[in-house]
Structure 1
Amino acid sequence: MSARTAVREEEEDLTGMATTRPPTTNRLFGIQIDAVTRDEAVGRVGDWLAAPWPGRCRYVVTPNVDHVLKLRGDSGFRTAYDEADLVIVDGWPIRSVSPLLGVQVPETIPGSDFVPWLLDDHQARGRRLRVFLLGAAEGVAEEAALRIEERWPCADVVGTLSPPWRFERDEALCERICRRVTETAPDLLVLGLGAPKQEIFAQRYQHQLGAKVALCVGATIDFLAGSKRRAPPLVRQLRLEWLYRSLSEPRRLGRRYLAGIVQFPLLVARELVERHRR
């Protein structure tokens, strides 16, 4: 039994609530990835949101190629991944090479899609949901809140906050942010701080955040606000969203995607060699 599975079962015993069966995990690129479909992941998080607060904020991470590369040289980021409650594959390159590496990933679950899917599920079930938006530039989360409440009447956005630059280096400020979140008693905390800040923040302050679940989902708040545009559906179907985004934000994302194109095949080759040796 993995450490993450043990924590899940212990917390579920404490809440006394029957929940969706913990998903199977597969190790890939040093990450314990949960082999779940979109519906299973939504159901799992929905169970957590319906249960009493377990004494800490559960959190979900969404690995893509950029995360896989950063994890190799960032111990704090790796700790955050090791302790995450649900790890769902965001990037299609990871899923596409998984059969080659002897691992089955049912489907990709982009973080920017997961929040709308979760809200759709709550809307369909008639469940209320208290939401806090933490991240994005000044004013963006407020616009996202308006659009969320308009599209999903089940959602009540109880708070928004755009932390200042390098806030993560100030522990006192981080603790004040935790108190601000906790005072609003949200069910769901949407973290749009960018990787690895959002994952490390969720892991480090999981016992001080009064939310039931945190989703580490990057630019999702910007997408919900309309301040950044998702690639058109056809572009996404062709698996070219990375190209669309790199052209939209060349300074911020161009180098990142170029590094992935160069380094990810080498990482796959190394993984193949290591698996062959084992």
Structure 2
Amino acid sequence: MVIEAFERVHLDGTGIDRITEEEVVAVVREALSRGRGGRISTPNIDILRRAAIDPEARRHLNDADLIVADGMPLIWASRLGGAPLPERVAGSSLIWTLSEGLGRDARSVFIVGGTPAPRVISPNAGEPHRAELPATPRKTPAPAGAPAPAAAPGPAAAPDSAVGPAPVPTRDLGRGQAALTGSTAEAPIVGSRRVAVAGAVTVREVRASGAVRAAVRLAAASPGLRIAGAISPPFGFEEDETSYAEVCDRVVEARPDLVFVGLGFPKQESVIERLRRDLPATWFVGCGAAVNFVAGDVHRAPRWMQRTGLEWAHRLGAEPRRLARRYLRQDAPYALRLLARAPRRARRT
């Protein structure tokens, strides 16, 4: 679907829709009511820089139905260039407003991304432990002729095999009266408590994945919203076709109205491209770190830093080893060049 109602402002070859966040939500709701899907791209200065030098990154942007500016440098450049964008529309904000908007229509979302949950496995499953298992008392042989001890009441022991999360019951998530269904979501577990899993096997339950915790929070904040599923793929899943297909199959089977894919650019765009073939009536948002923000694994900058374009400094302080090279050596010089060229572009137009 091509959205022609909004003029595009061109920054270094990328067309960005002159649209507000409220209008984005309205466009998606209207399109869904007509059975039309689409894709929203949220480029920041780093994505804009990549698109200027990488044809594949450019292709991902050109394929989007809506392109919104997720970064104050883009807003500043548009103002200097004489064609101001109305406001920043960040993926980390859209994940909340779109969920609230879809909740009004009792529609569903699927969340992909976030921190994978540690797996709970049995001692003999052949893999290193990723969660604490309770100690098993050593059995002492009974003396010859002694009667066998009475069996303890309870269910029969489960076979010695991998132990996974229990099926997720449909549950009330509070104000939104939303539900997580077991077929497409991991168990929404927070904290550490002892629970029975797989018959009589008792394990120490571990934190749920980031996607599940994000889904629970979105549902609680968005009355009427339905959670079609939530999955945090393991790191490197895209390098194994079986794992890749399994993730995509789970999303396709759930048939959600909207999918938030927070895997980082351009990985999330490749996943969206693959999913759109089977879900033409679904909307997709490549939302970067938004799933981690909602889950609470990463904290957003204070409002004043977001408004003044200093959110990058907050993130750099939180993850200096991962972001220093990209922010300081690549993105900052590119942003300065973009701003310096903007007045010349305005004079030409």
Q: State if a TM-score over 0.5 links the two structures.
A: yes
Confirm whether residue 190 of structure 1 aligns to residue 260 of structure 2. yes
Gaps in structure 2 of 5+ consecutive residues: 117-208
Confirm whether residue 8 of structure 1 aligns to residue 2 of structure 2. yes
CA distance in 2: counterparts of 1:275 and 1:243, whole angstroms = 29
User: In the TM superposition, what is the alpha-carbon distance from 1:66 to its structure 2 partner?
Assistant: 0.6
Give the corresponding residue for 2:321: 251
User: In the TM superposition, what is the alpha-carbon distance from 1:271 to its structure 2 partner?
Assistant: 6.4
Letter in 2 for 1:99: R
Give the corresponding residue for 1:87: 67
Give the corresponding residue for 1:230: 300
Give the corresponding residue for 1:18: none
Between stretches 146-155 and 108-117, larger displacement belongs to: 146-155
Q: Is the 8 A contact 1:144 1:222 kept in 2?
A: yes
Q: 1:265 to 1:130 in 2, by over 3 A?
A: same
CA distance in 2: counterparts of 1:146 and 1:156, whole angstroms = 10
CA distance in 1: counterparts of 2:301 and 2:265, whole angstroms = 20
User: In the TM superposition, what is the alpha-carbon distance from 1:90 to its structure 2 partner?
Assistant: 0.7
Between stretches 254-263 and 172-181, larger displacement belongs to: 172-181
Give the corresponding residue for 1:105: 85
Confirm whether residue 137 of structure 1 aligns to residue 131 of structure 2. no
Give the corresponding residue for 1:127: 105
Give the corresponding residue for 2:234: 164
Q: Is the 8 A contact 2:248 2:275 kept in 1?
A: yes
Q: Deviations over 1:25-64 (max 9, x none)?
A: 2222111211112221111112123332x4xx51100111
Q: 1:231 to 1:202 in 2, by over 3 A?
A: same
Between stretches 168-177 and 82-91, larger displacement belongs to: 168-177
CA distance in 1: counterparts of 2:303 and 2:232, whole angstroms = 29
Q: Percent identity?
A: 34
CA distance in 2: counterparts of 1:200 and 1:29, whole angstroms = 23
Q: Is the 8 A contact 1:135 1:191 kept in 2?
A: yes
- Determine helix, strand or coil for the equivalent of 2:53: coil
Please, which of 31, 39, 42 is the counterpart of residue 48 of structure 1? 31
CA distance in 2: counterparts of 1:273 and 1:178, whole angstroms = 45
Between stretches 169-178 and 207-216, larger displacement belongs to: 169-178
Matched length: 256
Q: Is the 8 A contact 2:78 2:342 kept in 1?
A: no
CA distance in 2: counterparts of 1:120 and 1:162, whole angstroms = 22
Give the corresponding residue for 1:4: none
Q: 1:166 to 1:103 in 2, by over 3 A?
A: farther
Root mean square deviation of aligned Cα: 2.3
User: In the TM superposition, what is the alpha-carbon distance from 1:200 to its structure 2 partner?
Assistant: 2.9
Q: Is the 8 A contact 2:41 2:285 kept in 1?
A: yes
Give the corresponding residue for 1:262: 333
CA distance in 1: counterparts of 2:96 and 2:214, whole angstroms = 12
User: In the TM superposition, what is the alpha-carbon distance from 1:276 to its structure 2 partner?
Assistant: 6.7
CA distance in 2: counterparts of 1:69 and 1:200, whole angstroms = 18
Q: Deviations over 1:51-103 (max 9, x none)?
A: 32x4xx51100111010111123222211111101001110101101132233
Larger radius of gyration: 2
